[in-house]
Structure 1
Amino acid sequence: MRIRVRFAKVGKVRWTSHRDLARIWERAIRRVGLPVAYSQGFSPRPKVHFGLALSTGHESLAEFLDIDLDPEAPSSPDPADLEALLAPLSEALPSGIDATGVVLISTSTMSLQQAVTSCSWDIEVRGATPDQLAAAIEQVLAAPELEITRERKGKAVTDDVRPYLLDLTVVEPTDAGTRMHAHLATQPRGLRIGELIALLDPDWEEGRVRRTNQWMLLDGARQEPLAGSPVAASAPHAEARAS
């Protein structure tokens, strides 16, 4: 039995690393008594599978993890009432992290790392006015290629990242700059937010960054990983607990 959980990570907890986040979830799962399945071998580990790692310092309304459960355990949740898990999980998690959705999935379902093909972001670009940002967006989207140099396995390599820019849109001014929406591809390697801003203007800086959703392509249609559940538009409980 495998469940997929969507959760938000906002506020001060955004500075928690991916490794520490995994430990937080393992503790929360134990606290609520979920009968998590364990791997075989000399050092068994709980079968908890995270999706794309979120950079430390970034917020998110749409993080996902898959949890394998022992269906024979007396404390195994009722597949018809998985929503009942959300409140106790959120209570067992730190302020700013809240479980916002859950569904039952097949154990043969493609992993989140493989299935997610793009992400939506809200990004504050510090130092940019709306007009300046709009002009920079128009320029990069019109470019046939956008090459950047990265280090991979100790060697400098050049990648064309233009295919990763699926959509860039100016949203509104902020006190320190301008907020934009970005829809960025994640495969085969993806584009870091800092790399995106450097493409727009190397003098601009990254402000508040929030992942608003992750997307899969199913039969050519974009769909969030929590199939059959409403798309996360907000996470009011996480916002309130993080404030």
Structure 2
Amino acid sequence: MRLRFAERGKVRFISHRDAARAFDRAFRIEALPLALSEGFSPRPKVSFGLALSVGHESIAEYMDVRFSEPVDLETLPARLTAALPEGIEVTGVALLADRAPALQESVTAVEWELEVAKMDESEVSVEEISLRLIALFEKTSLPVNRIRKGREDIVDIRPALTRMSVIESGSVGIVLTAEIATQPAARPSEIVTVLGEDLRAVRVLRTAQWIERDGNRQEPLTADAARVSEARAS
């Protein structure tokens, strides 16, 4: 079974591991029959998709979970949301087809909504950011410094940038969207850096994840689904 969930508000400051613990607690509160692995130390068969960095929000997070007994898809989103911390909401659930590919290996692109502002708090306009985006996509290489296992590497993130556009003026800065490939990958903070070292990210929201197969793009909830149930609006 695959779950789609959102993380908004104060929960953006909890780690990916803490979010996993919150779901583990919610499963126990609702007494859901989790399937366990075999061996001397059985563990619940639960796997999360791409990790969400601390400080970022999302309306498109995914996890796969296996139950040992049938569970009602229609009521599951509301049951789990009620047992989760405020700000984490299960928005959809799908019964997966047999032998569905692993979630982390399947996602090929991610979409972000970024609100950027000037470091010195001076005014920034839609026109200025639009011109910066044009100049950005004219470049063939966008090197950034990245720390890996305590060592600094230089990584070219230009191949990861698929599409970027300005949406509107936000509450503090300018809101833009960015679509990023997962192989190779680029971090939202790196996108802001190459857009201008005088800029900072005010807000970062993951809005979508995509799986592409045979030229068709689908969200993870429906890509390998045998049956889907969306959460009802309250």
- Residue 19 of structure 2 is aligned with which of 18, 21, 24? 21
**1: distance between equivalents of 2:11 and 2:198?**
28
Q: Which residue of 2 aligns with 1:46?
A: 44
Instruction: Spell out, residue by residue over 1:53-91, the C-alpha distance to the aligned partner (whole angstroms, 9 max, x if none).
Output: 0011111111000001113xxxx314xxx1221111111
**1: distance between equivalents of 2:172 and 2:148?**
34
> 1:210 is aligned with what amino acid?
L
> 1:7 is aligned with what amino acid?
F
1:182-197 matched pairs, under 5 angstroms: 182-188=178-184, 190-197=185-192
TM-score (norm 2): 0.89
- Residue 199 of structure 1 is aligned with which of 194, 201, 213? 194
> 2:131 is aligned with what amino acid?
A
Is 1:165 the counterpart of 2:161 in the alignment? Answer: yes
Is 1:224 the counterpart of 2:222 in the alignment? Answer: no
Instruction: Spell out, residue by residue over 1:13-70, the C-alpha distance to the aligned partner (whole angstroms, 9 max, x if none).
Output: 1111101000000111112222111122332221110000001111111100000111
> 1:193 is aligned with what amino acid?
P
**2: distance between equivalents of 1:12 and 1:152?**
28
Note the C-alpha offset of 1:236.
6.3
Q: Name the % identity.
A: 44
Q: Which residue of 1 aligns with 2:90?
A: 99
Is 1:87 the counterpart of 2:78 in the alignment? Answer: yes
- Residue 124 of structure 1 is aligned with which of 92, 95, 115? 115
CA contact (8 A) 1:61 1:235 kept: no
Q: Which residue of 2 aligns with 1:240?
A: none
Q: Which residue of 2 aligns with 1:110?
A: 101
- Residue 57 of structure 1 is aligned with which of 52, 55, 58? 55
TM-score (norm 1): 0.86
Note the C-alpha offset of 1:152.
2.6
Structure 1 unaligned blocks of 5 or more: 238-243
Note the C-alpha offset of 1:222.
1.3
Q: 1:215 to 1:235 in 2, by over 3 A?
A: farther
**2: distance between equivalents of 1:183 and 1:163?**
11
Is 1:134 the counterpart of 2:130 in the alignment? Answer: yes
Q: Which residue of 2 aligns with 1:241?
A: none
Note the C-alpha offset of 1:216.
0.6
SS of equivalent to 1:216: strand
> What is the aligned residue count?
225
Q: 1:15 to 1:151 in 2, by over 3 A?
A: closer
Q: 1:236 to 1:146 in 2, by over 3 A?
A: farther
Question: Once structures 1 and 2 are overlaid, which stretch shifts more, 98-107 or 113-122?
Answer: 98-107
* Aligned-CA RMSD value: 2.0
Note the C-alpha offset of 1:235.
9.7
Note the C-alpha offset of 1:176.
2.0
Q: Which residue of 1 aligns with 2:121?
A: none
- Residue 66 of structure 1 is aligned with which of 64, 67, 86? 64
Note the C-alpha offset of 1:187.
1.6
CA contact (8 A) 1:83 1:101 kept: no
CA contact (8 A) 1:8 1:235 kept: no
